[in-house]
Structure 1
Amino acid sequence: MAGTTTAAERGERRRDPAGEPRSRPSWRGRLPAPPRPRTLVIAGAAAALLTAGLIWLLYGSPWLRVAEVGVGGTRVLGEDEVRRAAGLPDGLPLASVDTGAVEARIREALPRVESVEAERDWPHGVTLRITERTAVLVLAERDGYVEVDRSGVRFATLSRAPESVPLLELDPESGKSAASSLRRFGRDRLVSEAVRVARDIPEPVARTTRTVKVRTFDAFSLELKDGRTVRWGSPEEGAAKARTLRALMKATPKARVFDVSVPSAPASAAS
């Protein structure tokens, strides 16, 4: 009668088909040998030399240094003017150029710059990509004509008003209602609202607009270069007024006065 297999019997070495004992593989002798101290020293010295060489290449060598500064995107500003504002001396290690600081210096020195992007151009250049502000209105001030962009930023003063940009006419002496509106909203607020109106004028009309007039907060109007007038009303609903004005001018091309102050009920007249 067969008995239960004992632990000792289960622990007996297995035999291969030939009857010889089968030994278990040993991995102890296959572990990699630890590196020798001399090898570690050599590897550390090589790493240190490589690091020192890289640092010298970036900051000490004569090869990776600022030799030229390229400027792109300017329309009014001169390239040399932008380079001076950037403050990048010739021979400065290219790796030392702080592009954020360069951009900040340009924006501070040149208010006409709306945005600037400075990039290293290896091995020896820096490229400055400029976006200039575009005026949507011009204000007549004591010392000249101030250009104002679509965000309301006053960025340049000119001795003469440019013909391609509407002139803002804000006259507090034109009547009691205008003086009351000026006291209530303040000049800066009315200027900001005029910028808002100028920003909403359709592009074809904006190119032919000579003056944006402000009588009161609810009475903005446009005087076009050919003598026609657009009654805009308040700055509200600018997008709807722009669409209505385009359609009204197309439907009544010979009209001299266009009223879009209420865009849902436009009107035009011969005079």
Structure 2
Amino acid sequence: MPSSRGPGYRAAGPRAPGTREDSAPEDVISATKDGTAIRAATPRPAPDNVLSFPEPKAKRRQRILLATIGILAVLTAGILAIAVYSPVLAVRTVTVEGTKLLTADQIRTALAPLEGKPLPQISDGDVTALLQPLVQVKSVSTQARPPSTLQVRVTERVPVALVKQGEVHQLVDEDGVKLSDTADPAAIPLPVIDGGNGTLPKDLFQAITGVLGALPADVLGRLSSASAKSVDAVELKLVDGQTIVWGNAGEKELKARVLEALLKAPADPKNPVRVYDVSAPRHPVTR
């Protein structure tokens, strides 16, 4: 009896072992409307003999290490954010060290805007800006003392002379910065620079204060006055009337050491020294 199947049909029957048909999947046959047969291969299963290799230990360790670093970075960023913005570290106490011309209360009052601000957000620049109106402050450093204390270390300008302007005596440092006025100059053991009723020329003033700034404190305390006819002719007066011929501002550290040694030398009652000339410090003269 003729088959009613389309062209290409093959009846299923026993397959010989080892043939291609025995190892490959059957094709799926479908027919179109015009009777044309279409053969479509079914997906073949993956072979059973594919080998899988374990991940190398070095690569696994590297992956674990990178993951750990990432976690630590996230935790560190979180901790820093908490520290920077946490109100727990807000400033509540300000301690002050190094003040002589100023009082600790003056410093704390100037730094009042920092109260309540987290310690990690405060820099030396912030403190310096707030203390700038206090001319006595030369420099400042800070240290945070958690949880709420800001320690401020002040370096003040060192007064080296009293500048007499008419009846007013002004305390100044070696840069000529006016630190304060005083109504009792005799109570301050510093030399007086007499500016007369006018203003001392800037070059002469700087020449004098530069010399005074180089002197040891014990020598400075023995001076009564300082003057200069020119920048090359600075003279100092001791409280007992002796004169110090200093000369110009050159080699001022050496001149200061030589003068200190001369003042410590035993005095000769018969021939008291009236003039110490250190203008040539390697060949000083006394007379």
The TM tier, using the shorter chain, reads: 0.5 to 0.7
Deviations along 1:128-172, one digit per CA (max 9) or x if unpaired, are 11111111122123683333223x141412133352221112459
2:275 matches 1:258: yes
Equivalences for 1:92-111 in 2 at 5 Å?
Answer: 92-106=117-131, 108-111=132-135
Which letter maps to 1:257? R
Deviations along 1:3-41, one digit per CA (max 9) or x if unpaired, are xxxxxxxxxxxxxxxxxxxxxxx8713469x9xxxxxxx
Cα distance in structure 2, aligned partners of 1:229 and 1:65: 57
Change (3 A) 1:142 1:59: farther
* Residue 53 (structure 2) aligns with: 28
Change (3 A) 1:243 1:74: closer
Deviations along 1:113-136, one digit per CA (max 9) or x if unpaired, are 111012222111111111111111
Equivalent residue in structure 1 for 2:224, among 207, 210, 223: 210
Change (3 A) 1:267 1:56: closer
- 2:204 is paired with a residue of what secondary structure? helix
Change (3 A) 1:127 1:28: same
Equivalences for 1:110-189 in 2 at 5 Å?
Answer: 110-141=134-165, 144-150=168-174, 152-160=175-183, 161=185, 163-170=188-195, 187-189=201-203
Matched-pair identity in %? 26
Cα distance in structure 1, aligned partners of 2:197 and 2:98: 40
- 2:127 is paired with a residue of what secondary structure? helix
| TM-score scaled by length of structure 1 | 0.66
- Does the Cα contact within 8 Å between 1:65 and 1:94 map onto a contact in 2? yes
Count of residues in correspondence between the two structures: 220
* Residue 242 (structure 1) aligns with: 256
Superposed displacement of residue 210, structure 1: 1.1
Change (3 A) 1:93 1:27: same
Change (3 A) 1:142 1:120: farther
Cα distance in structure 2, aligned partners of 1:241 and 1:133: 23
- Structure 2 unaligned residues grouped into runs of 5+: 1-50, 61-69
What's the RMSD between the two structures over aligned residues?
3.7
- Structure 1 unaligned residues grouped into runs of 5+: 1-25, 35-43, 174-181
Cα distance in structure 2, aligned partners of 1:167 and 1:145: 8
| TM-score scaled by length of structure 2 | 0.63
- Does the Cα contact within 8 Å between 1:170 and 1:215 map onto a contact in 2? no
Change (3 A) 1:119 1:27: farther
- Does the Cα contact within 8 Å between 1:220 and 1:231 map onto a contact in 2? yes
Change (3 A) 1:257 1:88: same
Change (3 A) 1:73 1:29: same
Deviations along 1:162-203, one digit per CA (max 9) or x if unpaired, are 522211124599xxxxxxxx9xxx700000000122134454
- Does the Cα contact within 8 Å between 1:99 and 1:118 map onto a contact in 2? yes
